[in-house]
Structure 1
Amino acid sequence: MTRLGEIAHALRAASLDGWLFYDFRLSDPLAYRILGLASGGIATRRWFCFVPADGRPRAIVSAVEAHRLDALAAEKIVYRSHAEMVAALRNALGGCRKIAMDYSPGCAIPYVSRVDAGTVELIRSMGVEVVSAADLIQRFEATLSDVQMASHHRAAVGLRRVVDETFEELARRLSDRIACDEASIQDFVMERIGAHGLVADEPPIVAINAHSADPHYAVSRASSAALKLGDFVLLDLWAKEPAPESIYADFTWVAFAGDAIPAEHAHVFEIVARARDAAVEAVANRVNAGRTISGREADRAARGVIEAAGYGDNFVHRTGHSIGREVHGTGANLDSLETLDDRALIEHTCFSVEPGIYLPGKFGVRSELDMTIENGRALVSGEPRQREIVALLPRPTSKA
């Protein structure tokens, strides 16, 4: 079955009359990927592609760029003026009552909110109900092939090795009194990512002490904090294989430069780890029993643990995000805070689980692992997961 045929089949299952794709100046990269279109070349005019649940798809393109959708097996309709474009849309949508577009009501899920409000208003003015294509996007964009899933698992194995190698290197530098700061640690991690045949779109987060209380702390060469005995360090790293369709792995671990973990750090980590495992268990119990669970419900499983411990206000982000060809993918997120993501976590998808507690001016703890759903089973990538703060024990020096 062709991709357009697969879309039509999904539309019938969802009781929708069609899916209207739209782009202006590459405003919707998802449309290109879902339709299997190249996004290169000059793209300065609006185009639409209407895929009906039944019937032949229609491509509405400008006379200036009439070639734009030639790769699709669709009836081509060329417009010159705005009036001709609107007439072509009315004709294509004639008889439709409800269609999907790549938008999200109230921009609740910004990853899929690609169509501007004015274009949605234009379609609604034709008497057509427009609904979000979020679930369809997840099916066609976030669902991974077996080859992609295998690439994720290989990346997870390599990335876990980088975690271990990084902490071993930090212990060595502490022992040998080698100058070490956030920037140099970041450089080491990127070197090891490359050594394992992986790539990353951005360098990792390396955050020492109070910097770890900033969830998306960015290392500055000018103010890179030095690592010394008694310091706490958070390492958040992500990578994938170089092939364009490969899938990321994404982990966060924490460590302490010394052998005696401070009681407050250990206490906060224990809560975060319990929250992480509560979300993992909630997902696994539902999926393994053949039942669905939404990203919103999975988030609540973790958030409830942290709230019960009295740190609810210090958990400032969602529990997890979809993972795909980009580290933040377009599938369901584990989120009941920033958005209310009621999309189900579905078969052959990948997502992170990463609750955190952040104490401004002191430190922050986040523990992140990845999960996949494969053949009706929920699996954790990159085991073993972190069970306690890693103690960066300096090597004992030999006596003369």
Structure 2
Amino acid sequence: KKPLVFFSSISSRYLLSAGMESKEAEESKLDVSDAKMGPDDFDDLDPIVSAFLEFSYGNELSELADDWISEHARTGGFEKKSAFEADGSGHPMEWSRLHQEYCEAIDSKLEAFCNEQGRSAKDLFEALEDAMENEEVADALPGFVKLTSYEHFCSQMESHATANEKREEAQELAASGNDPWSGEWRGLYDFNTRERDEHLQEHDVPWAVRQLVKTLMFRNGTVKGVLRYEPGNKLHRSFNFGILGQQEESFDLKKVGEWHDFHGGLIKNHFTKAMFTMDNSGGNPKITIKTRRYFDEKRTKRVKSKKGEIKESVKTFELIEDGTEMLCTEAIYWEERDEYSDGWSFKFRRVEGDT
């Protein structure tokens, strides 16, 4: 068997064991998700599994996936995915062939990894099968196993295929002269990795997610995105986060100043409430987003930190330098202490002209 077969099996098994497709499973796992540990903390973990976890979040694999999708998304007709599904005609057979080619590109990297480790693909598969009995190991895999999922592949191809349309709309809005937010942006710039890592740990972010963030934010200018601002209605964000693909979220500006149910962010959470505020008093347009996590779908029981404290996530987006840069900050508000953490900050820069 080739590694592709093995990792497709790992992907299917993870989806079943972790219950990624149900809100009920998400609710049952929320109380332990913040306590996940990294592979260095696992007892009796086969060295090849630890090495694989590091590899699966590495820059090389992330860039391969992103480059491959970017190259093929616009020529395969994936912008019609939703229409094909709506009218029942189904996906073109060509998409299955492209998915196979995509997996083979990933497969070549897996074979190289096994060769570097001096182990066979069969050895790695069996070691991963054993290691997945450990819930922490299983939880660390989804960022990688999604790469061989046909559904995930098609979704990312669709997002990339429609990116130009969103970019053109954003540029038209920006050209109107009264829209400071819309346009194409690239980041991240001017950030401190120590502050980033300390913030993630203080926020009880699981090891697997911390590794993703480090992969996405390892150098300047690796994140590309589009903002589309509809005054009094919505602010849309569409950003390309590499190994996670295109991420979409919309802020409902009709609910400014109100806590309301929210589904958004880099790592989606079914049970979240958010409140947005907008402020132009300082001369620079600024949006603040506060979010609270809950255990239950009715959002009555708050998720606490590992130390048992109630917290809010606080993010700000401020236009500076005459609107050519966007300063972003992330911090934690400890409600019972009425204190804010130091957090961390980074910048996006507006993209002018063709890229």
Q: With structure 1 as the length reference, what TM-score do the two structures score?
A: 0.28
1 or 2 for the larger relative contact order (CA 8 Å, sep ≥6)?
Answer: 2
Select the structure of larger CA radius of gyration. 1
Give the structure with the larger helix fraction: 2
TM-score, scaled relative to structure 2: 0.30
